[in-house]
Structure 1
Amino acid sequence: MELQQLFEQAVINSKMLGDKPSNEVLLQLYSLYKQSTEGDVTDDKAPSNAFDFVGKAKFNAWSELKGKSKEEAMKAYVDLVEKLKG
């Protein structure tokens, strides 16, 4: 199966995990998904609302992956979902 198909199946599988992952793992899934589908974060500024903790956490997690190729991010996403399915 090609990487794109594996990734798409992993996205579906991520929504059917038995136990809800921790916030840290959810951020990993989010950032790997964004890097896989959009590439590097294009806006260098985090959300400006001081109380948007979730938005800032998501932005920071995604921006930490800057430079990682879409293919590397897809592979990491697939591997993480497989690990979570355990």
Structure 2
Amino acid sequence: MSLDERFNAAAVKVKTFTKRPTDSELLQLYALFKQASIGDNNTSKPGMLDLKGRAKWESWNDLKGKAQDAAKEEYIALVESLSQKYL
């Protein structure tokens, strides 16, 4: 299975979790997914009142410079570890 196929399978697996991961785990998943699929964050920072959007933006922005393949590998590993807790 190629890296992209494993990444896509992990993205599908996340949607089958029966319990909701913690907020920090969700932010990690979001940031790694965005870095893996898009690359470095090139969007403008959300306003002060958009707390959720700002947290997501900052989480993704913290991964700036990480290679997309490395982010895919980390995302797959994170999904596998979380699936033991939430499936």
Which structure 2 segments of 5+ residues have no match?
none
The DSSP-based 3-state class of the residue aligned with 1:79 is: helix
**TM-score, normalised relative to structure 1:** 0.93
Q: How does 1:74-85 map to 2 (within 5 A)?
A: 74-85=72-83
d(CA) in 2 for partners of 1:81, 1:31: 13
Kindly indicate whether residue 45 of structure 2 is the aligned counterpart of residue 73 of structure 1: no
Which structure 1 segments of 5+ residues have no match?
none
Q: Which residue of 2 aligns with 1:47?
A: 46
Kindly indicate whether residue 61 of structure 2 is the aligned counterpart of residue 63 of structure 1: yes
The DSSP-based 3-state class of the residue aligned with 1:34 is: helix
d(CA) in 2 for partners of 1:8, 1:47: 28
Q: Which residue of 1 aligns with 2:5?
A: 5
d(CA) in 2 for partners of 1:67, 1:76: 14
**TM-score, normalised relative to structure 2:** 0.92
d(CA) in 1 for partners of 2:63, 2:18: 27
The DSSP-based 3-state class of the residue aligned with 2:70 is: helix
1:26 CA displacement: 0.4
Letter in 2 for 1:76: E
Count, aligned residues: 84
Q: How does 1:1-40 map to 2 (within 5 A)?
A: 1-40=1-40
